Amino acid sequence: MIEKRFPAALDQLESVQMFVLEQLKGHTYSERTRAQLDVAVEEIFVNIARYAYPPDQPGWALIRCRVEEEPPRIIVQFVDRGVPFDPLAKKDADITLSAEERQIGGLGILMVKRSMDQVEYTYEDGQNVLTLTKNI
Amino acid sequence: MTITKKMDHTALTLFLEGRLDTTTSPQLEGELAASLDGVTQLTLDMEQLSYLSSAGLRVILSAQKRMNKQGRMVVRHVNETIMEVFEVTGFVDILTIES
């Protein structure tokens, strides 16, 4: 696994997305896969940047990546030492409500769940570990 | 993201170009807050929009809610990538999407 530590801050988003996509250099993948991966990385990283650490105690997020050949897929892991938070624990956002009744919360994680092939969460040794697997 | 405005009486068209994400969505939010007074028809042209995340959806939803009160809103020229986001999140049922 290749890993890199980023400050858990919104201005790091582009660097994090670039870091993940760099791991796919030399692999063939569709524009759709790229877009889905980009969105998933944004949704997860932004959650960490916004909510994992108290505003006066900024923290970090460790991003680990591995590309596997058989089957071809990328695994992206987000590790932080912030408050324990399982984004998979909440019920899916209700996407059948009218505009007026719509709540915006939960749409990000819904997109992640629908676009990734596997999403796993564990809390271990004081760390949130969220693992995305995407077939490419 | 680049936003180009076209105003025709009370019809406003915003041409969105680039990425509508966590970093850029406040820009669209600000543009809408500054421009929507008296507008009865809002068109969001997404022909040049390449990327949309939930941060962008939040702004689009609030624009739709506001336009429900004062007129109508149309989203047009949505590419495949963006359309998939609208489908997965059920926004296809909330928005008026034209080709």
B50-99 confidence digits (pLDDT tens):
999 999 999 999 999 999 999 999 999 999 999 999 999 999 999 999 98
Q: Is A95 exposed, middle or buried (0-12, 13-18, 19+ CB in 10 A)?
A: middle
Residue of A nearest to B85 (CA): A111
| Among the ranges given (A76-85, A89-98, B5-14, B20-29), the one the predictor scored with the smallest mean pLDDT | A89-98
What is the C-alpha to C-alpha distance for residues A15 and A55, in angstroms, rounded to an integer?
A: 21
pLDDT at A102 over 90: no
| Disruptive mutation site among B53, B73, B96 for chain A (greatest number of A CBs within 10 Å) | B53
What is the C-alpha to C-alpha distance for residues A116 and A112, in angstroms, rounded to an integer?
A: 6
Query: Interface of chain B against chain A, CB under 8 Å?
Result: 21-23, 51-55, 57-58, 61, 64-65, 68, 80-81, 84-85, 88-91, 93-94
- Give the start-end residues of each E strand in chain B: 2-8, 11-20, 41-52, 72-76, 97-98
Minimal CA–CA distance to A74: which of A121, A25, A111, A107?
Answer: A25
Q: Report pLDDT for A67.
A: 96
ipTM (interface pTM): 0.89
Query: For A106-123, how does the pLDDT look when each residue is reduced to its tens digit (9 = 90+)?
Result: 899 999 999 999 999 999
Domain that holds residue B51: 2-98
Q: Is A33 exposed, middle or buried (0-12, 13-18, 19+ CB in 10 A)?
A: middle
- Look at chain B and report how many structural domains it folds into: 1
> Which CATH number fits the domain that encloses residue B47?
3.30.750.24
Which of A11, A46, A99 lies nearest to residue B64, judging by beta carbons?
A: A99
Task: State the pLDDT confidence band at A99, using cuts at 50, 70 and 90.
Answer: confident
